[in-house]
Structure 1
Amino acid sequence: MSFMRATQAIRTTGANLVGLWRPSFVKVDDRFYVFGGGGHTVTNDLHLLDLTTMKWEKVQNVKGIPPCKRYGHTATLWNHCIVIFGGCNESQEYCNDVHIFDIETSTWIQPELKDVVPARYLHSAVVYDNKLFIYGGFAKNPE
Structure 2
Amino acid sequence: MASPQQSYSVAEERSGHCAAMDQHCLYVWGGYVTIEENEVYLAKDEIWVYDSECGLWKVHFTDGDLPPSMSGSCGACLNGKLYIFGGYDDKGYSNQLYYMDLHSGSGVFTWKHVKNFQGKPPTPRDKLSCWTYKDWLIYFGGYGCRRHSELGDCFDVHDASWEEQMFWGWNNDIHVFDTEKQAWIQPEVKSTPPQPRAAHSCAILGNKGYVFGGRVLQTRMNDLHFLNLDTWVWSGGIQITGVKPRGRSWHTLTPIGEEHLFLFGGLSAESVPLSE
TM normalised by structure 2 equals 0.48
Structure 1 residue 56 corresponds to structure 2 residue 111: yes
- 1:2 alignment counterpart: 54
- 2:138 alignment counterpart: 83
Considering fraction of residues, name the structure with more strand. Answer: 2
Pick the aligned partner of 2:210 from 101, 126, 133.
133
- Counterpart CA distance in 2 for 1:124 and 1:80 is 21
Pick the aligned partner of 1:100 from 138, 162, 176.
176
Structure 1 residue 38 corresponds to structure 2 residue 88: yes
Specify whether residues 46 and 139 from structure 1 end up closer, same or farther in structure 2 by C-alpha distance, changes over 3 A only.
same
What letter corresponds to residue 47 of structure 1 in structure 2? Y
The CA deviation string for residues 83-141 of structure 1, in whole angstroms up to 9 with x for no partner, is 00000012430110010111100111111222222111011112223121101211357
What letter corresponds to residue 93 of structure 1 in structure 2? G
What letter corresponds to residue 12 of structure 1 in structure 2? T
What letter corresponds to residue 95 of structure 1 in structure 2? N
Structure 1 residue 117 corresponds to structure 2 residue 203: no
Secondary structure at the aligned position of 1:94 is classed as strand
Specify whether residues 64 and 124 from structure 1 end up closer, same or farther in structure 2 by C-alpha distance, changes over 3 A only.
same
What letter corresponds to residue 89 of structure 1 in structure 2? G
Unaligned runs of 5+ in 2: 1-52, 146-166, 224-276
Give the CA deviation at 1:3. Answer: 4.1
- Counterpart CA distance in 1 for 2:55 and 2:216 is 34
- Counterpart CA distance in 2 for 1:78 and 1:61 is 22
Give the CA deviation at 1:54. Answer: 0.5
The CA deviation string for residues 6-31 of structure 1, in whole angstroms up to 9 with x for no partner, is xx432111122342111001111221
Greater length-normalized contact order (CA 8 Å, ≥ 6 residues apart): 1
What letter corresponds to residue 97 of structure 2 in structure 1? L
What letter corresponds to residue 174 of structure 2 in structure 1? V
Specify whether residues 128 and 13 from structure 1 end up closer, same or farther in structure 2 by C-alpha distance, changes over 3 A only.
same
- Identity, % of aligned positions: 28
Rg larger for: 2
Structure 1 residue 24 corresponds to structure 2 residue 74: yes
